[in-house]
Amino acid sequence: MKRAFLVPLCLFLAPLAFAADDKSDVPQRFKHQITGLFSTEREADLREAFETIPNIKLVAIDFANAEATLEYVPATIFRNVKPHERIGRLDNLLKTASHHTFGVKPLRSVPREKLERIEIAVAGLDCKACCLAAYEAIFRLNGVETATASFREGRVTALIDPSKTNRIRLEAALKQRGVEVKAP
């Protein structure tokens, strides 16, 4: 008798349990790594880009880690998109909104304590476009987790995985882009 009662009860309660866990219409917060966030002066540009993307709110920026906390409803933004494809879609949205000066990628997988900080003194970075070019020259290298470029400070910095890249490769990439690298 008990078993006969429990089966219908379970069939009734199961959808309610899933409904309680379903947050498809509730905004959720997600942290993403942001490419193109190479100086604090770019924060206003990033905020402006996100203002043009419907249904996504920029909640916070962590410049030191090149990360942003975003709030959105995944089911609204990524209708019929598989979870593993969401970063790519979000990247395309931000690239379009920022004229390809910002992007999104997954959070880094290498712990910060295993990364090495490299600072390179440079000359000739006298505008945002020059800084962006220097940033892109090194950020795209395998093993570079985050990077900054500042014309005010005359410096490019990178947080690297030393098992994948090194200072020599960073300097070579900068020189290839026409950035003058000063002696340390």
DSSP track, 45-91: HHHHHHHTSTT-EEEEEEGGGTEEEEEE-HHHHTTT--GGGHHHHHH
SS3 165: coil
Task: Note whether residue 149 is domain-resident.
Answer: yes
pLDDT over 70 at 21, yes or no: no
Domain boundary among 105, 120, 151: 105
Mean pLDDT of the 26-41 span: 90
CA dist 130 to 21, 67, 143, 181, Å? Answer: 48, 22, 22, 14
84 and 116 share a domain? no
pLDDT of residue 96: 96
Q: In terms of residue numbers, what domain contains 85?
A: 28-105
Q: Compute and round to an integer the Cα radius of gyration of the chain.
A: 22
Position 7 confidence tier, pLDDT thresholds 50, 70, 90: very low
100 and 116 share a domain? no
Task: Note whether residue 78 is domain-resident.
Answer: yes
Position 152 confidence tier, pLDDT thresholds 50, 70, 90: confident
Give percent above pLDDT 70 in the chain: 86
Mean pLDDT of the 3-14 span: 43
Domain boundary among 82, 105, 128: 105
* Cα–Cα distance, 59 to 73 (Å, whole number): 14
Q: pLDDT, tens digit, for every residue of 112-149?
A: 899 999 999 998 767 778 888 888 889 889 999 989 88
Task: Note whether residue 162 is domain-resident.
Answer: yes
Paired residues of 119 in beta bridges:
157
